[in-house]
A and B are shown apart, each in its own frame.
Chain A
Amino acid sequence: MHLAQLRRDYQLFKARDTEVMAVGPEGPGQFKSYWQSNDLPFIGLPDPDYSVLKLYGQEVNLFKLGRLPAQVIIDRDGIARYAHYGKSMSDIPSNVELLELLDSINESKHDAVAL
């Protein structure tokens, strides 16, 4: 389960000056009960109007009647540095992959400052 996977390493994301936000089409009540029962530490954003889901182009799998997972990393300058749109329900990058990307984004910022 992707959100539980993120919960496990949330401190590692925080240590990289990174906030995690999960957006979904469910309503606030459903988010709240899910967050509470799974003890999720990061931000949960109900998007029942699909406004952000559409803005970021999350794809719907019509055959399985579900939304395909997607992850986007946005750096401190507001630039999208990574986007992964899953081809299946289980096509989700590992935390290690995301953390390595964040390390390289943070390093490139340090380099820019050093120059």
Chain B
Amino acid sequence: MSQVKINTAAPDFELDDFQGNQVKLSDYFGTKNVVLVFNRGFI
């Protein structure tokens, strides 16, 4: 697995949030910045 390179296209993805709503990264393109947080685990 490789880390994201700065100033290159972010890999698009699609996941359901915990309420079952589909979230697609590229749906935000053109309107919002996104801060993507990979947590250390909260359980």
Contacts and interface: CB of A to CB of B under 8 A. Distances in A.
Interface of A: 1-3, 6, 13, 16-26, 28-32, 34-35, 43-47, 51-58, 66-83, 85-86, 89, 98, 102, 105-106
Secondary structure of the B side of the interface? Answer: loop
Contact of A67 (B18, B28, B36, B41): B41
A101 B26 CA distance: 21
Interface of B: 1-13, 15-20, 23, 25-26, 28-43
A19 B34 contact: yes
Given A21-B37, A75-B33, A52 B15 contact: yes
A62 B29 CA distance: 35
